[in-house]
A and B are shown apart, each in its own frame.
Chain A
């Protein structure tokens, strides 16, 4: 018996403040004007994508105690720009990253419930955590949260928000003009939540929204993050975009669901992925090389190396060999406000690997960085990329992808025009939206 063909889910990630966003290209447009957001969202909706995705960071990044100036800097407020995008799209889901550390459940629940109303059921929340005092300096409470408490706060935050979403059931408003009765009951939205993190009570003031609750995304990759996703999320935004890595992650995360009483289809696994298209595979590979060099300038290569070495390397030549000096052990003090610095588990061994790679292939520091960091996920002709994406999904390396174009605002256009029709021809991607809400696009049930 053959397994049923899976339908692919696709989303568009607005290119953000990492070096993967190429701002130096003549075709690169504004990262802040609304026209850029509208362009990308419309391209995604034209291609029948499931949703549009926005990342967020609450403090500008710093390197060596100064604001990092080599990548894109600056982005809009998540809720505000998603509400505006709702005005220029009709079906596209709208996913926003909102931090559970420097927000409060009542306000965030109000905002997501409002966004869900104003988009007629298209809101999603990517729940992220942070704990650092660096970000805390922009907020009332400062750096109040211990790192080990961040997922517990996130879990409690989310469950508190659910209580608020569920505090209106959907039948409270009668609005009978003849009798003058607006509410069926005098105290709609009544809630009281008390735990170690939150002590709140009252009446929630947004009536139940079309999706009941926004779709919940989780993006953390740690053990705690995976457990959080398996217990509470509708979809997971993962980093595991290669085939083997994707399959391993997919099996791991889906395998965790049963102990929370959930079925595999109740959590959609969507790795972030990048792509480069060409008329032929060879042409795409050439373009990919050009883009990699745009993404990793000499200055950016030094900066990447400094994150690993945890020391000032500004005296080194990026076109020279990998530095012989060893990384500094201990807490990373050189780079602040970015998630990726926690990825280097063993700095000494990683630096040694970089050196060996440089010597073996006769590569400069910059070329080593290009080689080891963030190669594009899908490179090839439209036919190759369509075939590859479909293989990944059918063989359970993912349920689809959150595509990150490398350029604003036109970076998705080629994919929408060339790859999506091929997936539609194969019958593995929708040719038209069949539902109106994001839950329907993702095959998720309405919460009870």
Chain B
């Protein structure tokens, strides 16, 4: 019998938790959602649980239950801080856990994001990643006022012109990640030479123009930030269908998906693998993580009660793109290990209420998995790539220069 591959666990952080009424829980730190101390405590708790990384949700506009703009609700958490800055603020106060903020590709500059994530990698000593969201139109575009992109209503997602628009937005995101990645490689690792004899700080032959020219933007380079410690911080993408799967297959290291069961997971993984082959990345590691919203308690009945109480406060059952699971840590461990053979490398868990369900993961689920030999008992690497089993990649420009020299 072959040994079970390592299971990876990520924690998705958003406000007071993923249930819309989570902020009303007695233990919810609702008054601290915009304080550094809150975010530091959450990530440190995740690190005590030996989790691979945390993701930090973000959006350019105000949170909304609607797809196409603000919803004017007053009963839910609204307002948030920039996720890259939260990650950077937490980085010096943690030492092993990966930090993966969300960014929105559609309206921001790839040059700025590339240097921000490279810098996050420096301030965390190699623990940065990034979750890339494609831009959306409508209200989000109006915040920047630079482009007119129609808003997309949830009901229109299947219409051909909407599918075409979404495909374009994700193609732009793919170009965006290409620029971000080239900029990370635009300095070779040994470009800084500090050669006192010749007075040269850098060997400029080891700095590279990236000269990207695409449909949406052109970027010359090189970056102003030297190559980050990991070389290429992991790029992650959430997807619910072929278009985002393709972005993950072309440019990602981790794809988060939302299967309903193990068979669904198997089908999704196969689709991503096919997209990977089509993108010429068949031999490369692209992890697929399943997203789950989790309610955890010592008994299944208590977990169900917790969920019911939150739903009652919200006035309706929670609706989520990801499967909502309520149960004991042992039951959740069973589910993860049951789904894992479908081709999943791991899971990104969305705690329904923070801190309750976060602690259910770090203090309950992790122990259950460890007792079954399915999860690490100590961090085995110091970088996020290391935790994900990704080797430090060669620099594309150094490799090209070496190949040219060999001719």
The chain A residues found within 8 Å of chain B, CB to CB, are 23-24, 28, 32-34, 38, 57-60, 66-67, 69-77, 79-81, 83-84, 86-88, 102-104, 106-107, 110-111, 113-115, 117-120, 137-140, 142, 168, 173, 175, 177, 180-189, 198-207, 297-300
Contact = CB atoms under 8 A, between A and B. Distances in A.
A181 B201 contact: no
B86 A76 contact: no
Interface string B377-396: 00000000000000000000
Contact of B90 (A58, A87, A189, A297): A87
Given A38-B92, A58-B111, A140 B82 contact: no
Contact of B63 (A38, A83, A205): A205
Interface in B69-84: 70, 72-82, 84
Nearest to B314: A180
**Range class of the B interface residue count:** 35 or more
B283 interface: no
Nearest to B104: A107
Given A83-B88, A181-B75, A120 B36 contact: yes
A139 B218 CA distance: 7
Contacts of B362: none
Contacts of B203: 69
B126 to A, nearest CB: 11
A378 B72 CA distance: 58
B159 interface: no
Closest 7 pairs (CB-CB, A-B):
A83-B88, A186-B72, A137-B220, A84-B123, A114-B82, A80-B119, A200-B145
A110 to B, nearest CB: 5
B92 A73 contact: no
Contact of A206 (B79, B144, B220): B79
Contacts of A181: 74-75
B112 interface: yes
A350 to B, nearest CB: 24
B66 interface: no
Contact of A180 (B72, B144, B313): B313
Given A69-B202, A83-B88, A198 B145 contact: yes
Contacts of A206: 34, 79-82
Interface string B178-196: 0000000001000010101
B78 A182 contact: yes
B396 to A, nearest CB: 19
A80 B75 contact: no
Interface stretch (B22-30, B230-238, B260-268): B22-30
A298 B219 CA distance: 34
Interface string B299-322: 000000000000001000000000
Contact of A34 (B34, B92, B142, B217): B92
A23 B200 CA distance: 10
Contact of A106 (B80, B143, B219, B225): B143
A201 B142 contact: yes
Interface stretch (B54-62, B288-296, B349-357, B397-405): B54-62
A86 B36 contact: yes
B219 A138 contact: yes
B118 interface: yes
Interface string B6-34: 00000000000000010111101011001
Contacts of B173: none
A34 to B, nearest CB: 4
A191 to B, nearest CB: 9
Contact of A67 (B28, B79, B204): B204
A23 B201 contact: yes
Contacts of A168: 79
Contacts of B116: 77, 79-80
Contact of B89 (A87, A139, A200): A87
A205 B123 contact: no
Given A180-B21, A205-B62, A111 B115 contact: no
Nearest to B76: A182
B112 A70 contact: no
Given A142-B218, A297-B199, 20 more contacts: A34-B92, A34-B125, A57-B224, A67-B202, A69-B201, A74-B224, A77-B116, A84-B88, A102-B109, A104-B146, A111-B82, A140-B216, A175-B31, A187-B70, A188-B62, A200-B142, A200-B143, A203-B70, A207-B34, A299-B199
A81 B92 CA distance: 10
B89 A32 contact: no
Nearest to B59: A205
Contact of A139 (B30, B84, B109): B109
28 contacts: A67-B204, A74-B202, A74-B225, A76-B118, A81-B119, A81-B123, A83-B89, A84-B88, A84-B92, A138-B220, A140-B217, A142-B218, A175-B23, A180-B75, A181-B74, A181-B75, A182-B74, A182-B77, A186-B72, A186-B74, A188-B78, A200-B142, A201-B143, A202-B61, A204-B62, A205-B62, A205-B78, A298-B199
Nearest to A84: B123
Given A69-B201, A74-B224, A137-B218, A203 B109 contact: no
